[in-house]
């Protein structure tokens, strides 16, 4: 049976109904790599047109538990894009200055400008995820944020930013293996922090917080994609397919050239 990537807005999202190890039969690891390369080529062309058109932007929002593959996804989808018109922004713990503003302040300033593709490695959703699970603000404050996020995303989409939100869905067992692999591999240890174990202990609370964020902020203008992410090749393939399709549907066009260029010979 095939598994949907999106859910109708308004419908309650239960993550246990989505298999994180799902992969459909259309591709295998080898053919997926070819397809990803093909997508990268296509996205390079579409990104070039988007940049030339200079009217609209794309924002890819990546969320997921630790080790779900946000960095791996970025490496994959960036491949096709021009570094001049594509920016990645990782959102870490807010600085003191950031905390002295509203939670969307630091986010809004990183939204891609016209012609560009922006990628958020974590995002404003942390403000209803870690902030909720860790009780970093009072409940009534994080509860009001779902609506604020929907309005913010509406503002962006009406300003010609196409928002693509991907939740990288991994199982708790897959996370255990990936965290262990980070510990066991000296070249990966830098990625490990003891804090990751503390977060892992709160797995169930994170699932609950994610289900609310995915359900309450799954709008027509900015829907969520639930990307099965236990298999890296399938996760990368899915993310690259989603982005390619989005950019194809936007169908960016080269702007009209200046009048009267015919016959000009450069001496």
**Is position 178 an interface residue for ligand AMP (rule: CB under 6 A)?**
no
For residue 63, CA distances in Å to 1, 67, 127, 167, 229 come to 26, 11, 12, 5, 12
Task: Show contacts with ligand AMP in window 47-86 (CB under 6 A).
Answer: none
Residue 64 backbone dihedrals phi, psi, to 5 degrees: 165, 160
Euclidean distance between CA atoms 267 and 264, whole angstroms: 9
Query: Which one of 19-27, 127-135, 220-228, 252-260 is the stretch in contact with ligand AMP (CB under 6 A)?
Result: 127-135
Question: Does residue 109 interact with ligand AMP by CB under 6 A?
Answer: no
Which of 122, 143, 154, 221 forms a contact with ligand AMP (CB under 6 A)? 122
Q: Please give the backbone phi and psi of residue 202, each rounded to the nearest 5 degrees, phi first.
A: -100, 20
Structure tokens of 7? 């859910």
Q: Minimum distance between the CB of residue 134 and ligand AMP, rounded to whole angstroms? A: 7
Say whether residue 135 binds ligand AMP (CB under 6 A): no
Q: How far is CA 230 from the centre of its chain?
A: 16
Q: How far is the CB of 149 from ligand AMP (least distance, A)?
A: 12
| Interface with ligand AMP, residue 194, by CB under 6 A | no
# of chain residues touching ligand AMP (CB under 6 A): 9
Binding residue (CB under 6 A) for ligand AMP from 25, 30, 83, 92: 92
CB 80, min distance to ligand AMP, A: 24
Least separation, in Å, of the C-beta of 95 and ligand AMP? Answer: 10
Token pair in block for residue 75 = 């490496």
Q: Does 91 bind ligand AMP (CB under 6 A)?
A: yes
Residue 230 contacts ligand AMP per CB under 6 A: no
Other Cβ atoms closer than 10 A to 147:
11
Cα angle: 229, vertex 218, 154; to 5 degrees: 125
Is residue 127 near ligand AMP by the rule CB under 6 A? yes
From the list 9, 72, 94, 223, which residue makes contact with ligand AMP (rule: CB under 6 A)?
94
Q: 54 in the Ramachandran plot: left (φ > 0), alpha (ψ -120 to 50) or beta? A: left
First to last CA, the chain: 64
Cβ proximity to ligand AMP: between 11 and 194 the closer is 194
Measure Cα distances from 40 to 63, 102, 134, 241, 249 in Å. Answer: 22, 36, 38, 10, 16
Binding site for ligand AMP (CB under 6 A): 91-94, 122, 126-127, 130-131
């Amino acid at each position: 049976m095939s598994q949907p990537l999106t859910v109708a807005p308004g419908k309650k999202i239960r993550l246990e109904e989505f298999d994180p190890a799902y992969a459909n039969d259309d591709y295998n690891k080898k053919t997926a790599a070819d397809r990803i390369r093909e997508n990268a080529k296509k996205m390079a062309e579409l990104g070039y047109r988007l940049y030339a058109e200079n009217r609209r932007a794309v924002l890819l929002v990546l969320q997921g538990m630790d080790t779900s593959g946000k960095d791996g996804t970025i490496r994959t989808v960036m491949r096709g894009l021009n570094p001049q018109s594509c920016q990645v922004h990782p959102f870490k713990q807010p600085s003191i200055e950031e905390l002295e503003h509203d939670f969307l302040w630091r986010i809004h300033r990183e939204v891609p400008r016209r012609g560009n593709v922006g990628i958020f490695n974590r995002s404003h959703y942390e403000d209803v995820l870690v902030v909720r699970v860790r009780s970093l603000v009072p409940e009534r404050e994080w509860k009001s944020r779902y609506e604020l996020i929907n309005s913010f995303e509406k503002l962006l989409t009406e300003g010609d930013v196409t928002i693509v939100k991907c939740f990288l869905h991994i199982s708790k067992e897959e996370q255990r293996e990936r965290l262990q692999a980070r510990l066991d591999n000296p070249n990966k240890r830098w990625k490990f922090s003891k804090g990751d174990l503390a977060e892992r202990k709160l797995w169930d609370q994170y699932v609950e917080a994610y289900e609310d964020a995915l359900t309450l902020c799954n709008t027509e203008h900015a829907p969520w994609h639930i990307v099965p992410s236990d298999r890296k090749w399938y996760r990368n393939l899915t993310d690259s397919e989603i982005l390619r399709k989005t950019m194809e549907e936007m169908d960016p066009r080269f702007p009209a050239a200046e009048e009267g260029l015919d016959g000009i010979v450069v001496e």
